[in-house]
Structure 1
Amino acid sequence: MVAGEASGDLLASLLLGGLRQRWPRLSATGIGGPKLTAQGFTAWWPSEKLAVHGYAEALRHYREISGIREALAARLLQERPDLFIGVDAPDFNLGLEARLKAAGVRTVHFVCPSIWAWRGGRAKRLARSTDHVLCLFPFEPELLRGHGIEASYVGHPLADTIPLEVPRAAARAALGLSDGAPVLALLPGSRRGEIANLLPTFLGAVRLLHAARPDLRCVLPVAPGLRGLVDAQIATHGAGLPLTLLDGRSHEALAACDVTLIASGTATLEAALFKRPMVIAYRMAALSWQIMKRMRYQPWVGLPNILCRDFVVPELLQHDATPRALADAVLQWLDAPQRAAALEQRFMELHHLLRRDTARTATDAIARLLDRA
């Protein structure tokens, strides 16, 4: 398995649990993070090595990442595993999968690349690279079959692990938060580039929010390995703010909060499954933004909006993601409880749609693939 960054590590660990139930003696190795290694996965490289942010940062780290892929390919072609599973990270995994598939190794790609949102030409590359795609969203298999790609809808594993009824009081108690004060969760991303681009702006928004709502409490979950970077940003941009740093614990933060200010990505889906109002933001290097903007097929960027086919939550991207705009969008949620309640019902419907016992369903699809082999 190869899982890139924190979200891929989480998805891969949930899938690995299902695989181990089916095949208790399974040996799993490759690239992964702490959630995978906690399940006995042997990580030859940590997933954070692949956690680059946008085209500009990818170019800076190209030589190192390319070297890792070459070394991994050589090792896998020599050892010839029964199965290779690439978890997200398509720019890294698809080329690797193509080489393995050409050599007769069965390949599965877990998480359909968002060809329905941008870079649709990747469908041809996906067809060359993988024997089967495990899709998180219900509309994806039919789209892939149109390109001659075998695929199964397996639901989203987060929908299985996150409870339908959110334990808000318990989460607040666990984090030492009172029931009465409003709580804002800050999730500026799990990659160093995201932290550098977004956290100063998030802290600027918190300063404005604190002036408007002095009773507001803020919690900031910090991904593994990023505490030093976060501390430095807070020292520069967030001194004196009512901010509680958490080592991980993002799910508790989402369960406890009234609203979240959040980077676009998998975390926005987690926030939706916790039925939380959110303000989605994103910033990247100017070159990366110009490239991405020209490749978009849809008006939405955030997963909740894409899945609901509507702007159910605000998106503030690049130059629009200013401290003032973010603070105003957060206040609109805090000041409109009826609007937040209507969003919660919409997200409950989405949660039921995505809950499919993903680990078992995905393992069944993998078993059928291996039986044919």
Structure 2
Amino acid sequence: MSQQLKVALVAGEASGDLLAGLLLDGLREHWPLLAAVGIGGPQMARRGFVAWWVHDKLSVHGFGWEVLRRYREIVGIRKQLKTRLLQQRPDVFIGVDAPDFNLDLERDLKAQGIKTVHFVSPSIWAWRPERVEKIRRSVDHVLCIFPFEPALLAQHGIAATYVGHPLASLIPMRPDRSAARASLGLTEEDPVVAILPGSRPSEISHLALRFFQAAALIHQAQPAIKFIVPAIPALRASIEQAAQASGMHAHLQIMTGQSHTVLAACDVTLIASGTATLEAALFKRPMVIAYRMAWLSWQIMRRKQLQPWVGLPNILCRDFVVPELLQDAATAPALAREVLHWLDARATQPDKIAALQQKFSALHIELQRDTSRLAADAIQQVLQG
């Protein structure tokens, strides 16, 4: 295997940046002279990735107005990126999630003879099944993070490899709760709620204030509870503003980053639906999943949804193992009530907590693979044609 590899990547938000960063670690083990360029964030930059645009430029939420007002900018970035990649011609293009941006770009690059790989299969098993034809036209190979996906894609003539979920190897099977608490200045006895209102600006605008209003109700019921909020640096100001508006700022410990430390330390988390819910499951933490979006976006998504679950832990366990409160159901009193149920269960229903942790441990084992090696091997097969 040659030690040189020119790769272009696009990761569109914080979760994709994390996945792409872990993928770059594996690629560099196989190709020490790796050169990686494209669109990405800080996790990728730490691995020597050269960002032509930062990943925040692609972070968009929902449908309707939220997308329309950013459409021209995002399409312009994709057009410029395509021109640049066709000039420089990387050995392989890897789109990391962000299918609305990446699949069209991959289709155009593939048509010009550039190998294309998509990391994280679009969720055709959850919604928008019509997207499968676009995947078939756009990519040479899909790297799947869930075990049931390759067989599903194979039914449509799409080559795919299950590589496991990188987070399952990154997060320890038995997280060190004591060390995490010590690093955050918490005691073993403190009841701790982690609040994760999302990684996109629009998620913060729809969820943060509501989450903090729920925290206020929880605080009224149990004043001893500690609330920890890990914030993406770019969104910290918005989170601080929502905390002030809720009247809970003095009772919230807002951290810059450190979401894994916070999840390891907490007893339960109130969390926005997304990749973070899988992280919480891998930390074996009870959670309350919530989501809200603009009314039009919600109407479109609800009509396209194929499964009764939205949160990844529930989808992967094929059951409502943790509560989901979506759209109009995600009221502050309802969120507070569900969080308090989990906190009370620690004393009154320890078997319920243990059963959840057992399900999450089994899920962790299922997702834990040598992702970097499997992904690199699959990419090598694509390069060999």
TM-score bracket, normalised by the shorter chain, equals: over 0.9
Residue aligned with 1:26, SS: strand
Cα shift at 1:340: 1.4
Q: Which residue of 2 aligns with 1:279?
A: 288
Residue aligning to 1:208: 217
Return the letter of the residue paired with 2:40. Answer: G
Does 1:133 pair with 2:148?
Answer: no
Partners of 1:206 and 1:241 within 8 A in 2: no
Equivalent residue, structure 2, for 1:355: 368
60, 67, 78: which one pairs with 2:87? Answer: 78
Matches within 5 A, 1:96-245: 96-245=105-254
Deviation by residue 1:196-242 (Cα, 9 ceiling, x = unmatched): 00001101100000011110000000012111111111111234542
Residue in structure 2 matching 1:289, options 298, 314, 322: 298
- Which of 40, 44, 57 is the matching residue for 1:32? 40
1:370 aligned to 2:370?
A: no
Q: Which residue of 2 aligns with 1:10?
A: 18
Deviates more, 1:240-249 or 1:129-138: 240-249
**Amino acid aligned to 2:332:** P
Q: CA shift at 1:81, angstroms?
A: 0.6
Query: Take 1:320 and 1:241, find their aligned partners in 2: how far apart are those partners?
Result: 27
Q: Which amino acid aligns with 1:44?
A: W
Aligned residue type for 1:366: I
Partner of 2:357: 344
Decide whether aligned partners of structure 1 residues 200 and 69 sit closer, same or farther in structure 2, where only a CA change above 3 A counts: same
Instruction: Give TM-score, length-normalised by structure 2.
Output: 0.96
Secondary structure of the residue that 2:320 maps to in structure 1?
coil
The aligned amino acid for 1:2 is V
Question: d(CA) in 2 for partners of 1:30 and 1:144?
Answer: 27
The answer to whether 1:67 aligns with 2:80 is no
Tell me the distance in 1 between the aligned counterparts of 2:248 and 2:316: 38
Partner of 2:28: 20
- Report the counterpart of residue 3 of structure 2 in structure 1: none
- Identity across aligned pairs (percent)? 63
Inter-partner Cα distance in structure 2 for 1:276 and 1:231: 25
Structure 1 runs of 4+ aligned residues shifted over 2 Å read 238-241
For the aligned residues, what is the CA RMSD?
0.7
- In structure 1, the partner of 2:4 is none
Which residue identity lines up with residue 20 of structure 1 in the other structure? R
Provide the secondary structure at the position in 2 that maps to 1:104: coil
Number of aligned residues: 372
Unaligned runs of 5+ in 1: none
The aligned counterpart of 1:265 is 274
Unaligned runs of 5+ in 2: 1-8
